[in-house]
Each structure stands twice: as C-alpha cells, then as structure tokens.
Chains A and B, each alone.
Chain A
Amino acid sequence: MEKFKFYDYTILVSPTGQKASNLKEFLNIIKQSPDKVLFHHLYQSHIKHDQKVGEFPNDFANWVAYELGDTALAEKLANFDPYDYKTVAEAKELLIGIIEEHMWDLPTVPWVRRGSEFYFSSSTTMVIPLGIEVSTLGEFADALNDIPGSSFYFHFYEARKIKKEKQHDDFSQWIERNFDRKELVRRIREIDFYFFNVDEVREKLKNILNEELKRT
C-alpha cells in the first residue's frame, strides 16, 4: 500500500515591472509574457491573499471587471477554464483569442484611471513536506480537516499543471492506484473546482468521501 504524503506550498510573488493601463496594452503584454506570468494570473489566483471572496476565478477577469469596467469581457474571461488545456501555452493562445475577438467590436479602447493599472507578476513556488502521511481512506478523510488551504490547493489544483503529463489531482490519482473505488475517483474528478474557492472544494471533497465511506 502506497502512503499519501501531504506537501505544503508557499509562493513568493515576483512582479515583472510591466503594467497595463488599457485593454490594448493588456493584450500586448499578455502576448509577450512568458508562460510563468500567465500561470500566476490564471491558475494561482485561488491561493492569493488579496483575492476578494465571491469574485471571478482569475486575476485577469477580476481586473477587467472591477478596474476596466468591461463586464462582458470579464464574464468571458471568467468562464474560460485554463485547466481545460494541457499546457499554459495553449491556454494563453485561447485567452488571446477571446480578448482579440472582444476588442474587434469595441469602438474605443477602454482605459483605467491612474493607480488601477494591471501589474504583471510571476511567482516562485516552494513545495515542502507537511509531515502528514496516510494509508487508508479514513485517515485521508481525517487529514483533510487538518491540512492548511495551501496544501489542499497544491494537491488538488496546482499538481495538475506542475507535471505536464498529469491531468488529474493528486488525491484521485492516489485513490485510483491504491483502492478499488472507481465511483469515488469519478466523483472527485467531476468536481468543477476552478469555479470555487479552495475551502468550498475541500468541503465538496469531504462530503463525497464521507458519503462513499458510509455507503461501503
């Protein structure tokens, strides 16, 4: 039986020094930005402290909605799920397409007021062992109550992107390899995680686990 070893996760945000004051600059900088910048703003939004609860699931959509004031574009950017793509480069290409198509119909380029510019950043991630290892599904369910949100984020969100060949979260992969629980694996993989915050997804996963453990 393979043990599941929980890791924790800490990021240090690293601004690139580039900022956009209008939609055209925003698009141009996105086009020139390396994948690590896109990765930070599209994927890591779920873990950042300054994210306001109840808003859109990525930094770009939030800026477009609340600073640029273009609600229609914000909705399109929010509905775009970067986890649908195998690589950040593919997600970037789609993102650029959405913005270009939207801009095509705009009579003028929208600007933000001074001080509300979009500041581009990347990040350095440090992954460290949390000191929790589990062997059974019961232990795993208990550990979900104990681990910090950053650890949950790492295993359920970011792990899918760190290794390109991985498409699924660490938890369901471990269950798939070690237990005959096809239904449980299926239900975990069906969680529409991108549109929820870390705590909400953790609750969903706990509920699914509890139901499955009670059922059998």
Chain B
Amino acid sequence: MAGIKDYEEIIGRRNIKQIEVLASLSRGKKVVMVSSTRYGGGVAEILHRMVPLLNELGIECRWEVISGNNGFFNITKDMHNALQGERIKFSGEELEKYRKVNEDNAKSLNLDADIVIIHDPQPLPLIDFYPKKKGAWVWRCHIDMSRPDLYLWKSLRKYLMEYDASVFSIAKFTKSLPHPQYLIAPSIDPLSDKNRELSSSEIESFLKEHNITRDKPIILQVSRFDRFKDPIGVIQAFRLVKKEINCQLILAGGTSCDDPEGAEVLAEVEEEAEGEEDIHILLLKPKSDKEINALQRTADVIIQKSLKEGFGLTVTEAMWKGKPVIGGEVGGITIQLHNHRTGFLVNSIEGTAYRIRYLLNRPSVSNKIEERAKNLVSQNFLITRHLKDYLSLFYILENPGKNIIYTDKG
C-alpha cells in the first residue's frame, strides 16, 4: 500500500511538506471514523486509504463499522433515498428500529477519541447513546441533501443538532444548523488499483476474460445498481445513439452490504437490456478495482447519468484517466464537469445521447477536454488534498471561532 512519500511524484515535494506540517499540528490526536460498511461504495474506498495515511502522519486514527441486520439496512437505504429527495414515509416502528440498532452499537463500539467522525445517516444517532462522549463529534455527509424529504429531515435533525460540526461535499447540500459547517470534497487515490496506470497486457487480459472486444466504440457507466444512477436511462440513451453510430454499452456495477436494493434494480436493468447484444451488464465482485480501472481505460466515452449524486467519484476516476465524461447535472458532478471545458452536463436521456454522439464524432474536442479534466482532478480531487482538508479540520476544531490561524511550525 502506498505511503505518503509515494505521492511526491504526482503532487510534488512542496505539497507533501505542506501535509506533513499540517499533520504535525495534530500529531498524537486520537480520531475515530465510523461508517456503515467496510467494503463497497465511495466512503469505504476513501477510508481504506485515509485511515492508514493519517496514521502514517502521526494521527492515531481508527475506523469502526456499525453492525445491523438486513432489516436495518433496508430502513437506512430508504432513508438514504428519502434524504436524496424521494418521498418515503417511515413508520414509528422503523424509526425506532433505526434508533435501537444505533443504541446497541453505541454499547459495543469504542468511540473514545479527540475527534469522532460519523459518516452518513446510518450511524447518525450514535451520538445520542454514547455515554462517555468527549472530544468533538462531526457528522460527515456524503449524500445529495439538496432537497431531503421534510418529514425524515425533521426526524434526523434532532440527532444532528447534538454534533459539534458537520461536513458536506458541496454548499448546495448544507442546511441551517446551529454548529459550524465545512465543505470538504471527497477524493480518489491515484495510486490505488482502481486509478493507477495499467499495462496494456493487464487491460487485454481483463477484456478477454469478459469477452469485450474493441471493434466498436465503448460507452461505459460504472455504478452500483441504484435507481438514482439511472441505468435504465443510460440504456435508453444508448439506443438513441445506436441508431446513428454502431457502438456498445457496458454497465458495470458491484454490490454493497448496506444496499439491499441492488439486486432488484439489477433485475430491472437486465430486463430493459434483454435482446440487445451490444449491451454488456457486468456484475463485479467486491474489490474489483483493477477491473474497473481496465474498463475505464478502455472506454471511449464515460457516462454518469445520475439523477441525484453526492459527489460522483466515478466521474473523478474517469477524468483522472483522461476520458471524456458526460454526467447528470446534479450534486457534486456539477463542480467537476464544466460544459465544453472538462466534460458535459446533461438533464435528459436525449441530452445524454446527443453528447455521446457529439464526443464520438469529435475526437479532437475530446482530447482538449481530457487534458483539462485531468488537471482539475489533479489540483482538487486527489486524496492528498482530502488529507490536507481533514488535517486542517482537526486543527480548526481545536481553535474554534478563528478566521485566520498562523502557525510557524515547519
């Protein structure tokens, strides 16, 4: 696994030094991250890298995962959907179960730390039940909270009010809250199996294994099978393109143990794609990072046609690999894709089809976009920037109310 010095070739010695100086301000601090799953999804992926890097830099960082049965994760998946805007009614019994599972977890988890960072809504109520609460508790929200279901938001807000701070990915998701809010965009790890350079033999062997040929342009969407990622819309857009350009579509996705809805959506996608030999649906096993990397490096155009999106790290991954990306004009995708500069934002199936055709017919435009897109990611959405933001946050939490903090360490 890569250490902090390994990033020097990507971000330069000065930036590494800056990270080390920031880390020195919080050296020895105890931090615990709490999330709902160890594998699957962007949060787990980030924490797998963030926690070891923080430890290497002298922060004593642990990662705890809450446990719950399928019933609990069904409720939290519905909550996730409702917070992203779906109208879902929760019974008193469901809200009680959500509360109770957190109460049980609070008894078994060790959350003694200077800073406790709770990721997403699943473990949000832990704060209510942790008797030995000390240090600062921060809620880190990764989802698109621009228009949450009002009833659920009111039910969860009471837990959030107890926190010392909250962190959102973009300003649009923030709310009126009685504590400080901060913006920290998520990130990708350029040295992970998912994003590192691959040799052509690694790519070819993967394509062979999955019977994918490069005889026609490849359009790709990599996403969990989730209705908010609109895989059906992608298939419909592909059909519009296919009338004009002979191409193929790959929909690749994995599963996550905190997402019980995935199998249902996958079945809907398979039904929609039935009879179309140029649509490949790949159900990837957990830890298929290298495979996703190979797919992204092979694709001609990458789609992320989300209807709601916390940030859209698959967009970031594709941009980093220098691929032209078309994304739904929602959530964090809007701060990554700037029309004609770093990619294209779309609002409809027709718009998606139009931009796919636009890019496939204009390779020179694609080339210019790719360069700028990679540059944007390099400056803003790599794990090293994320690390810097977390280290700043740790120090800022210790120095509340200051607008400017000078330090002469270094």
Contacts and interface: CB of A to CB of B under 8 A. Distances in A.
Q: Is the contact region of chain A dominated by helix, strand, or loop, or is it mixed?
A: strand
Contact of B389 (A12, A114, A128, A146): A12
A129 B403 contact: no
A20 B69 CA distance: 42
Given A127-B406, A130-B18, 20 more contacts: A10-B388, A10-B389, A12-B184, A12-B389, A12-B393, A12-B396, A15-B181, A16-B181, A36-B403, A49-B185, A49-B376, A50-B335, A117-B172, A124-B396, A125-B404, A127-B404, A128-B21, A128-B407, A129-B409, A129-B410
A127 B406 CA distance: 5
Interface string A1-37: 0000000101011111110000000000000000010
Contact of A146 (B14, B395, B404): B14
A52 interface: yes
A115 B177 contact: no
A14 B177 contact: no
B1 interface: no
User: 9 closest Cβ contacts across the A-B interface?
Assistant: A129-B410, A119-B171, A17-B176, A49-B380, A15-B174, A13-B183, A125-B404, A50-B335, A127-B406
A125 B399 CA distance: 12
A162 interface: yes
A114 B393 CA distance: 31
Contacts of A106: none
B407 A126 contact: yes
Given A49-B380, A126-B405, A148-B15, A121 B341 contact: no
B181 A14 contact: yes
Interface residues of B, number: 42
Contact of A131 (B17, B176, B406): B17
B22 A126 contact: yes
B132 interface: no
B182 A130 contact: no
Nearest to A17: B176
A116 B234 CA distance: 25
A128 B22 contact: yes
A147 interface: yes
B154 interface: no
A49 B183 CA distance: 12
A109 interface: no
